[in-house]
Amino acid sequence: MNSLLSARRAAFAILLILILTIGFHIAVLAGGVPPEIVWGGRATDPQQLHRLEAVSIAVNVLLVVVVLGYTGSLGFRFSHRVLRPAFWAMLVLFSLNTVGNVLAETATETVVFTPVTALLALLCGRVLLGGFNNSRVKSQHSKTDAATHTAAKDLSRPERVPFDY
């Protein structure tokens, strides 16, 4: 049965939202977004704001790399042993962030960012439910490995040439 939202599409939606989030944090650093609407309005010191934003950008870049590693867009895919805990951590992070946004003192965080982080948590859950099937990647490698193994076998056995007396 085809689902309405595949795990792969959910991953690309996460990727889009994370990239937009990085752009938003860069806009905060550049002064294009008032600092009062981020970090619960508690980051009043410019140095503190810069540190928090730098950490947020770094975390979001790391999350982008994880999602790219899931989609195979990096030219390779991360192991499910890396991806499963990473997506669980993302699910917990976005769920806690949603609670924090609901409790935020600023209306912007509550009204705008609560749905965004809740959506990210749901999308991470969808990826987790979709599993981490590397069968496409494995099947390509297994064909290549089998061909290489066969070729190696053939090279290791010299052809029998009849003796010429």
State pLDDT tens for residues 1-34. Answer: 457 899 999 999 999 999 999 999 999 999 998 8
In a domain, 132, yes or no: yes
Residue 163 belongs to some domain of the structure: no
Mean pLDDT over the full length of the chain:
83
Tokens representing 49?
A: 């704001």
Is residue 108, in this structure, part of any structural domain at all? yes
The one-letter code for the residue type at 48 is Q
Q: Does residue 93 sit within a domain?
A: yes
What is the rounded CA–CA span in Å between residue 57 and residue 26? Answer: 8
In a domain, 36, yes or no: yes
Asked whether the predicted pLDDT for residue 150 surpasses 70, the reply is no
Q: Is residue 160 domain-resident?
A: no
Structure tokens at 21: 């989030």
Q: What is the mean pLDDT of residues 91-100?
A: 95
Specify if 48 maps to a domain.
yes
The mean pLDDT of 62-87, rounded to a whole number, is 92
| Predicted local confidence at residue 2, as pLDDT | 58
Nearest 5°: the CA angle 37, 95, 82 is: 120
Out of 6-20, 33-47, 85-99, 128-142, pick the least confident.
Answer: 128-142
How many domains is the chain partitioned into structurally?
Answer: 1
Is the pLDDT at 136 greater than 70? The verdict is: no
Give CA–CA dist 123/105, Å, rounded: 26
Domain of residue 22: give its range.
7-154
Whether 77 maps to a domain, the answer reads yes
Residue recorded with tokens 């409790």? 103
